[in-house]
């Protein structure tokens, strides 16, 4: 049961212009009292200054430690994963809930064998790839993600979180991009070679995967999540060229994004590659927020980033994973302060880790991140 | 066409990732009576070095670099049609390379292998998800001078640390270099490594520097 009422089977959500108007009122409200996380994020996404900079730890697999569940339960049991994620915001804080489990969810339901290690993220068994040869792209089959084992778990997780959030926290769904899903079934190295040698074969696979992901987006939106985050990892200098991304993923990711918008939900984007192609991803996906780990390929520094992209999309980032692993909480707070000062003015900025918080690492730096937003992120910022 | 022109063209074919062109030129070089070793050194490996430099400057990306690696492999197969390239291995610096236990991401490792081989190292590739004891056995049995470890995940940093610590207890301790997404120079130092490679293209430079030191 969604928090939004239904009309002829569709959820009745506020329109973007209604949200924009509401954010104006909330921004004013935030000047005099503390906002709810949902209000804070909404104001931020509309490029206004809320009461303070919102914060996100991206504690995913690490969330299991807060409720003492196994990694396998976190990966496969929606109720237990939901309890873990709710514990994150209750114990550590943070301004959003998200139903990210891991990047192997979609591939698993296409038939890829998955390993569930005790102390690390579930991942494909690359010794047994679902796509063994270029001919296998065409053998993938369309299915209903509501009835497949792992995607239905994620859908259910979104449903529980949306219900529990009760308009207090925004809830984000999650979908790994189509090229990423193929990489999970073929191995990234083989996929890259196939893109160069047999692009038409890869595109045949992309068509099938995208059809399922579009339906998956619809199913997630139908649970009442406020938005869905697409992960287009390969749109960066870590992976493939701008030209190849435009050919091999841009149009497919666009179809998923359009479906999310058609359902009335917000489109968010995550890309933790080095030198992400912000301009291309905005062109195809038009996200309201981009979560990122490195500066875009066409930006020199944070000021340049804010100037180039700060009005086109909200920015969520980008405390480095390495800092979360190695630096002291005090140093993390100092780094966070610098990001807030450079990216926070005018709103449109969420303080976050660039990628998943190290799942087995001390949680002190997650606390530091949240504290930094509370201490240094209060608007008007002291620059 | 002069020898120099052919070798230059061969290097260019590697950079372009043109396997067919690479094989054709390798055969042509053999027919001209050149030693396969020279063709590898001045043609194939030179091309790999150039591709690595372009990758380092973000002028080409993983697919193009992987195609260059495949071209080198195809070229070597053409130069040694009946057996693997058993050339001068006793004189080469030996590197034991692998992805640490618990991690299955091996593109970076494979590219490091190609870059090091292009610079004349003998690489003993243990693959991915390699337990620490397998690294140690490989270092000892091959008398390797270098142990190169890779990981892409924070959850396997402990595995990398354990491997480094165990390698330090060997009678002859190799130079230990590490690389991968969750690492930086400081974390590499914390782990007890001698060196850190920011990306595959820089691996030869890191080893060269460490071996001089």
| Residues B89-212, CATH architecture | 3-Layer(aba) Sandwich (3.40)
The pLDDT of residue A46 is: 94
Report the share of chain B in percent with pLDDT over 90: 77
pLDDT in tens, B33-69: 888 888 998 899 999 999 999 999 999 999 999 999 9
Distance from CA of A215 to the nearest CA of B (A): 29
> Do residue A240 and residue B181 have CB atoms under 8 angstroms apart?
no
Give the helix/strand (H/E) hosting B208.
helix B203-212
Distance from CA of A213 to the nearest CA of B (A): 24
The reply to whether A363 falls in a domain is no
Question: Which of B61, B156, B181 has its CB closest to that of A239?
Answer: B61
CATH topology of domain B3-79: 1.10.1240
SS (H, E, C) chain A: CCCCCEECCEECCCCHHHHHHHHHHHHHHHCCCCCCHHHHHHHHHCCCCCCECCEECCCCHHHHHHHCCCHHHHHHCHHHHHHHHHHHHHHHCCCCEECCCCCCHHHHHCCCCEECCCCCCCEECCCCCCCCCHHHHHHCCCCCCCCCHHHHHHHHHHHHHHHHHCCCCCEEEEEECHHHHHHHHHCHHHHHHHHHHCHHHHHHHHHHHHHHHHHHHHHHHCCCCCEEEEECCCCECCCCCHHHHHHHCHHHHHHHHHHHHHCCCEEEEEECCCCECHHHHHHHHCCCEEEECCCCCCCCCHHHHHHHHCCCCEEEEEECHHHHHHCCHHHHHHHHHHHHHHHCCCCCEEEEECCCCCCCCCCHHHHHHHHHHHHHCECCCCC
The pLDDT of residue B82 is: 65
Angle between helices B107-118 and B45-56 (to 10 degrees): 130
The pLDDT of residue B90 is: 57
> Do residue A189 and residue B107 have CB atoms under 8 angstroms apart?
yes
> Do residue A121 and residue B67 have CB atoms under 8 angstroms apart?
no
**Is residue A1 pLDDT above 60, yes or no?**
no
Q: Is B120 exposed, middle or buried (0-12, 13-18, 19+ CB in 10 A)?
A: middle
**Is residue A186 pLDDT above 90, yes or no?**
yes
The reply to whether A256 falls in a domain is yes
Contact B92, B119 (CB under 8 A): no
Contact A277, A235 (CB under 8 A): yes
pLDDT in tens, A111-170: 999 999 999 999 999 999 999 999 999 999 999 999 999 999 999 999 999 999 978 999
Question: Which of A123, A192, A237 has its CB closest to that of B63?
Answer: A192
Tell me which chain A residues have a C-beta less than 8 angstroms from the C-beta of B156: 120
pLDDT in tens, A239-274: 999 999 999 999 999 999 999 999 999 999 999 999
List the single best residue of B17, B56, B114, B155 to mutate versus A (max A Cβ within 10 A): B155
Tell me which chain B residues have a C-beta less than 8 angstroms from the C-beta of A244: 61, 63
> Do residue A123 and residue B104 have CB atoms under 8 angstroms apart?
yes
Distance from CA of A182 to the nearest CA of B (A): 15
Average pLDDT over residues A60-84: 97
Contact B143, B174 (CB under 8 A): no
pLDDT in tens, B135-168: 999 999 999 999 999 999 998 999 999 999 999 9
The reply to whether A87 falls in a domain is no
For chain B, give the mean pLDDT.
Answer: 91
The pLDDT of residue B85 is: 52
For chain A, give the mean pLDDT.
Answer: 95
> Hey, do B3-79 and B89-212 end up sharing a CATH topology, with the first three levels equal?
no
> Do residue B63 and residue A196 have CB atoms under 8 angstroms apart?
yes
**Is residue B88 pLDDT above 70, yes or no?**
no
List the single best residue of A117, A234, A325 to mutate versus B (max B Cβ within 10 A): A325
For residue B16, the chain A residue with the least C-alpha distance is: A196
Contact A124, A195 (CB under 8 A): no
> Do residue B66 and residue A192 have CB atoms under 8 angstroms apart?
yes
Distance of alpha carbon B142 from alpha carbon B154, whole angstroms: 29
Contact A60, A102 (CB under 8 A): yes
Report the share of chain A in percent with pLDDT over 70: 99
The reply to whether A135 falls in a domain is yes
> Do residue B62 and residue A124 have CB atoms under 8 angstroms apart?
no
Distance of alpha carbon B3 from alpha carbon B35, whole angstroms: 12
CATH number of the CATH domain containing A287? 3.20.20.210
For residue A184, the chain B residue with the least C-alpha distance is: B105
**Is residue B84 pLDDT above 70, yes or no?**
no
pLDDT in tens, A208-219: 999 999 999 999
The pLDDT of residue A269 is: 98
Distance of alpha carbon A56 from alpha carbon A97, whole angstroms: 9
Total domains in the fold of chain A: 1
Contact A30, A50 (CB under 8 A): yes
Paired residues of B98 in beta bridges:
B149
∠ CA A295-A299-A300 to the nearest 5 degrees?
95
The reply to whether A348 falls in a domain is no
3-state SS assignment for residue B38: helix
The reply to whether A179 falls in a domain is yes
List the single best residue of A241, A242, A276, A361 to mutate versus B (max B Cβ within 10 A): A241
The reply to whether A103 falls in a domain is yes
> Do residue B110 and residue A189 have CB atoms under 8 angstroms apart?
yes
Chain A residues whose C-beta sits inside 8 Å of any chain B C-beta: 61, 117, 119-121, 123-124, 126, 188-189, 192-193, 195-197, 237-241, 244, 275, 297, 321-322, 324-326, 358-361
φ, ψ dihedrals at B34, nearest 5°: -80, 155
Task: Find tokens 């359902």 and name the residue.
Answer: A263
The reply to whether A180 falls in a domain is yes
Structural domain that includes position A209: 96-298
Q: What share of chain B is helix, strand, coil (3-state, %, to 5)?
A: 60, 10, 30
The pLDDT of residue B5 is: 86
At A32, the pLDDT band (50, 70, 90 cuts) reads confident
Q: Where are the domains of chain B?
A: 3-79, 89-212
């Amino acid at each position: 049961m969604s928090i939004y009422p239904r009309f002829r089977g569709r959820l009745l959500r506020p329109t973007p212009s209604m949200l924009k108007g509401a954010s104006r009122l909330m921004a004013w409200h935030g000047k005099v009292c503390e906002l709810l996380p949902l209000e804070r994020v909404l104001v931020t996404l509309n490029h206004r200054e809320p009461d303070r900079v919102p914060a996100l730890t991206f504690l995913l697999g690490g969330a299991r430690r807060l409720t003492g569940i196994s990694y396998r339960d976190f990966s496969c049991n929606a109720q237990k994963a939901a309890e873990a994620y709710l514990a994150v915001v209750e114990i550590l804080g943070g301004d959003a809930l998200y139903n990210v489990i891991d990047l192997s969810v979609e591939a698993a339901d296409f038939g890829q064998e998955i390993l569930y290690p005790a102390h690390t993220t579930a991942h494909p068994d690359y010794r047994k790839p679902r796509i063994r040869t270029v001919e296998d792209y065409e053998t993938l089959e369309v299915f209903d993600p509501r009835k497949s084992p792992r995607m239905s778990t994620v859908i259910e997780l979104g449903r529980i979180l949306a219900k529990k959030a009760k308009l207090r926290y925004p809830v984000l769904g999650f979908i790994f991009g189509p090229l990423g899903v193929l990489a999970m079934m073929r191995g990234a190295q083989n996929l890259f070679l196939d893109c160069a040698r047999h692009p038409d074969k890869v595109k045949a696979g992309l068509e099938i995967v995208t059809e399922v992901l579009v339906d998956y987006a619809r199913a997630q939106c139908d649970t009442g999540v406020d938005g869905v985050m697409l992960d287009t990892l390969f749109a960066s200098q870590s992976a493939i060229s701008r030209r190849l991304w435009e050919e091999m993923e841009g149009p497919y990711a666009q179809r998923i994004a359009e479906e999310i918008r058609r359902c009335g939900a917000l489109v968010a984007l995550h890309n933790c590659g080095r030198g992400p192609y912000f301009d291309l991803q905005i062109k195809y996906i038009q996200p309201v927020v981009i979560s990122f780990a490195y500066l875009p390929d066409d930006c020199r520094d944070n000021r340049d980033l804010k100037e180039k992209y700060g009005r086109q999309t909200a920015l969520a980032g980008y405390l480095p994973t390495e800092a979360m692993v190695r630096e002291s909480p005090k140093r993390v707070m100092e780094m966070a302060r610098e990001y807030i000062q450079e990216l926070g003015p005018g709103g449109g900025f969420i303080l976050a880790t660039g990628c998943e918080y190290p799942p087995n690492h001390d949680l002190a730096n997650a606390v530091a991140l949240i504290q930094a937003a509370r201490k240094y992120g209060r608007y008007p910022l002291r620059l | 066409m002069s020898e120099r022109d052919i070798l230059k063209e061969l290097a260019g074919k590697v950079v372009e990732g043109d396997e067919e062109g690479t094989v054709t030129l390798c055969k042509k070089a053999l027919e001209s009576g050149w030693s396969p070793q020279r063709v590898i050194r001045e043609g194939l490996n030179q091309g790999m070095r150039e591709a690595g430099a372009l990758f380092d400057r973000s002028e080409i990306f993983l697919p193009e670099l992987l195609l260059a690696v495949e071209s080198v492999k195809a070229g070597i197969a053409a130069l040694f049609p009946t057996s693997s390239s058993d050339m001068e291995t006793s004189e080469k610096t030996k590197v034991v390379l692998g992805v640490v236990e618990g991690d299955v991401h091996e593109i970076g490792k494979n590219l490091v292998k190609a870059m090091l081989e292009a610079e004349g190292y003998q690489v003993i590739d243990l693959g991915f998800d390699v337990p620490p004891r397998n690294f140690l056995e490989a270092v000892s049995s091959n008398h390797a001078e270098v142990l190169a470890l890779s990981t892409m995940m924070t959850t396997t940093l402990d595995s990398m640390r354990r491997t480094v610590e165990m390698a330090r207890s060997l009678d002859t301790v190799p130079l230990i270099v590490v690389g991968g997404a969750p690492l930086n120079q400081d974390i590499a130092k914390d782990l007890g490594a001698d060196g850190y490679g920011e990306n595959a293209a820089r691996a030869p430079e890191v080893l060269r520097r460490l071996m001089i030191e």
